[in-house]
Amino acid sequence: MIIKILGSGCPNCQRLEANAKQAVAEAGRPDIQIEHVYEIDKIIEYGVMSTPAIVLDEEVKAAGRIPDAEEIKSWLK
């Protein structure tokens, strides 16, 4: 599984990335990779118009908000 954080690297994007890392650690899933996509053209390819956004296995799960670690963990099942 691959989690992608879409965003410019702003504080909200960094918080979302931290929440994703926390969720992966709490779920005990070292097999999950986390990537950060900064390039606006790649972000637009996902149809995302507001960041931060989170993508799991190429499916946009949330955009324009910061899901907490518990919500992200629920997607990892």
Q: Which of 1, 2, 9, 10 is catalytic?
A: 10
pLDDT score at 22: 98
CATH superfamily of 2-75: Glutaredoxin (3.40.30.10)
Q: What are the mean pLDDT values of the chain's consecutive 10-residue runs (77 residues total)?
A: 96 97 96 96 95 97 98 94
Q: What is the enclosing helix (H) or strand (E) of 44?
A: helix 40-45
Strands (E), the chain: 2-6, 33-37, 53-56, 59-63
10 is catalytic: yes
37: helix, strand or coil: strand
pLDDT score at 77: 80
Backbone angles phi, psi at 3, to 5 degrees: -105, 130
Q: Which of 3, 13, 24, 63 is catalytic?
A: 13
d(CA 40, CA 20): 21
Give per-residue pLDDT as tens, 15-31: 999 999 999 999 999 99
